[in-house]
Structure 1
Amino acid sequence: MKTIDSIGYTIFFENRFDSLIQFLNERTYSKIFILTDRNTGEQCLPILTAGMPVGFEYDIIEVDPGEENKNIDFCIGVWKMLLDFGADRNSLLINLGGGVVTDMGGFAASTFKRGIDFVQIPTTLLSQVDASVGGKTGIDMDSVKNIIGTFTQPQAVFINADFLRTLDKRQLISGYAEMMKHAFIFDADYFQEVKEIDFDHIDEELIYRSVGIKNKVVTQDPKEKGLRKILNFGHTIGHAVETNSLDKDKNPLLHGEAIAIGMICEAYLSYQYNGLKESQLTEIVEAIRNIFPDYNLKSESFSALIDIMKNDKKNSDDKIGFALLTEIGSCDFNHYLDENKIKSALTYYQETIGN
């Protein structure tokens, strides 16, 4: 079993639940609740319960899957279920699922009765390498991602690669976007390794390396005052594309698919305004397009995308903020660009895919 120490808690990597069992045996929680969505309730909860001791007692809280349901209405539903089941301040909420479940579950726990303990058991590649680690909790409001939330650390994170067997390839590729991002912003050698990923047999060491990179960043800057902002590379434009797709597309983009588009656009901005070499821009674009499908980014959506970006929590003084690469493996932050420069990046994406 491998572990990583984070901000007052430990991240456990094992394909069993011995560490979770030990964690629970060392605590005296009055009640245990497991938050899932319908998909993880059907596919992942049986994996968890099969690995737990006979007589493991818990109450289940289930929500609908999908980013569109990560909102205050569903969060109220979680709070009401906790009340109905008699949760007190000595209760534990286990968040079993992808980023929607870990984000919303963390927020619900951090605010219920001014905060109850929670642990994260991420079941998607995306949540294992990104969403479950770092203490960010949140929900969306009025199509703005994670605009309501807290910085609250879990009591522990348990990463079990067996859950990845429940995912289709599209979901795995979505999570891969965050692994690429970690390489782009922090570790050029890791980029060379992660390019060789086999989605049929994902090397668990790559997951460990990716979590380690994120943890190095967040432990230095837990509240996103400085260095942690580099984790937003690809996300200013990517989040806007994701939100717009959720509103407009019959088959909306997954988070990682939108972030891949954002990383191409923001790599272009890095080339134009932050010294990234053209050869490395080309390398980044080729690596992303080798894995992710091209997307029909329409010119008539540009103004709507800019409007979404204006509500991004990374902004300052009404300026749209970016983290930009200096080279593969190095990134800085607090770059504020005007609308025309941002639209030029969207146009670059269109031209790159021949749209």
Structure 2
Amino acid sequence: MQTISANGYAVFFGEKEYDSLNHFIIQNKYSNLFILVDSNTNEHCLLRFLSFLTTDKNIEIIEIEAGENEKNINTCVEIWTILTDLGADRKTLLINIGGGVITDIGGFVASTFKRGIDFINIPTTLLAMVDASIGGKNGVDLGNLKNQIGVINSPKLVLVDSEYLATLPQNEMRSGLAEMLKHGLIYDAGYWSQFKDLNQVDFADLDSLIHRSIAIKNEIVMQDPTENGIRKALNFGHTLGHAIESYFLENPEKKPLLHGEAIAVGMILESHLSWQKGLLQENDYYEIKSVINHVFEPVIFEEKDLKPILNLLIHDKKNEYGKIQFTLLDGIGKTKINQEIDNEMITASFFDYKN
């Protein structure tokens, strides 16, 4: 699988590229190595990674609990403290092995410790491979608000080894598929078409699908690294999706949603908004809704849920001058950014989703 050149780093693919990782570590003469894992990747992924790692440097393992609840500033303080106590310095390398929580928080910790140390991402979930580990966004949640604190800072290297996916439950695989569907909808109608009949998708060719998804995200990010323009296209489905994810995370009456599960709902809702705005044909909207609903179980919303979800939209990071900004589809494969939408249209989208 061909290496992808990103913004100051490379994305390597496959088992043979551990040689490139080892060469990189030797070439940069790091003082020591710290590996950040969660309880899941420590159990299921760390031994595989260490079997390929060849170094005479001292290695320390830092483990945190698994889950979105750990993605907060308190966890960062704990990691910064461990790094300090165990002698990390400016020439330390932090290797993040895990899903989106680990790559997000690990990148943020590394970017801020001693004003910045190098870090590498080894994504172990489909979501992290095609989205979270790519593009340089790192950060943590503020309470139940997603990704409110963070920086844009690129890893030194990303290594995508799809063998780690064998450790994932099916719901985690589906979660990652949501971002792959998004990449087709916003940028590549042909890629989207590959998923239109999921019964015909050859998942034995998953590596090439992952490669194309990463390439799409990278092509967008390379044009706009700091998200002042076209990179906002990647937020399709995320304005409402993040609000739904946050609401279900904080509400004890609700079962928390995986990121991809919330984004899947967000993509249906925001496709309906695109149709209401005259940007998307009716048949395209129903095709999107059908494909996504074929993969993801419907999420149940009650009438009382709508107002708090709408209230959470004011915290969306794309907002400007107090106005909520959506990224909508301009047909399949294209987007329009900075679209203002009123609450009546959002309510209509929720009504259509429930029916």
Category of TM-score, reference length = shorter chain: over 0.9
Q: Distance in 1 between matches of 2:23 and 2:140?
A: 31
Equivalent residue in structure 2 for 1:296, among 289, 295, 300: 300
The answer to whether the 8 A contact 1:194-1:206 is kept is: no
The answer to whether the 8 A contact 1:9-1:154 is kept is: yes
1:155 counterpart = 2:156: yes
| Aligned twin of 1:254 | 258
1:67 counterpart = 2:60: no
Kindly report structure 1 stretches of 4+ aligned residues shifted beyond 4 Å. Answer: 197-200
Change (3 A) 1:113 1:335: same
1:333 counterpart = 2:337: yes
| Cα deviation 1:327-353 (Å, max 9, x = unaligned) | 1111120001122222222222112xx
1:104 counterpart = 2:105: yes
Summarize the alignment of residues 53-92 of structure 1 with structure 2, pairs less than 5 Å apart: 53=54, 57-92=58-93
Give the structure-1-normalised TM-score. 0.96
| Aligned twin of 1:186 | 187
1:278 counterpart = 2:270: no
| Aligned twin of 2:233 | 230
Bigger mean CA offset, 188-197 vs 281-290: 188-197
Equivalent residue in structure 2 for 1:243, among 242, 246, 262: 246
Shift of 1:31: 1.1
Q: Secondary structure at the match of 2:194?
A: helix
1:3 counterpart = 2:7: no
Q: Secondary structure at the match of 1:109?
A: helix
Change (3 A) 1:200 1:165: farther
Bigger mean CA offset, 187-196 vs 48-57: 48-57
The answer to whether the 8 A contact 2:273-2:349 is kept is: yes
Identity percentage of aligned residues: 46
Equivalent residue in structure 1 for 2:270, among 261, 266, 269: 266
Change (3 A) 1:127 1:199: farther
Unaligned runs of 5+ in 2: none
Q: Secondary structure at the match of 2:177?
A: helix
1:203 counterpart = 2:203: no
Structure 1 residue identity aligned to 2:236: F
Q: Distance in 2 between matches of 1:36 and 1:250?
A: 28
The answer to whether the 8 A contact 1:169-1:199 is kept is: no
Number of aligned pairs?
351
Shift of 1:57: 3.8
Shift of 1:2: 2.0
Q: Secondary structure at the match of 2:66?
A: coil
The answer to whether the 8 A contact 2:195-2:201 is kept is: no
Q: Secondary structure at the match of 2:327?
A: strand
Shift of 1:85: 0.9
| Cα deviation 1:218-237 (Å, max 9, x = unaligned) | 00000000000000000000
Shift of 1:318: 1.3
The answer to whether the 8 A contact 2:182-2:236 is kept is: yes
Q: Distance in 1 between matches of 2:307 and 2:277?
A: 22
Unaligned runs of 5+ in 1: none
Q: Secondary structure at the match of 1:293?
A: coil
Give the structure-2-normalised TM-score. 0.96
Change (3 A) 1:81 1:240: same
1:170 counterpart = 2:174: no
Structure 2 residue identity aligned to 1:233: F
Q: Distance in 2 between matches of 1:171 and 1:235?
A: 18
Q: Distance in 2 between matches of 1:55 and 1:84?
A: 21
Bigger mean CA offset, 249-258 vs 233-242: 249-258
Cα-Cα RMSD: 1.5
| Aligned twin of 2:116 | 115
Shift of 1:202: 5.5
The answer to whether the 8 A contact 1:274-1:325 is kept is: no
Shift of 1:274: 4.3
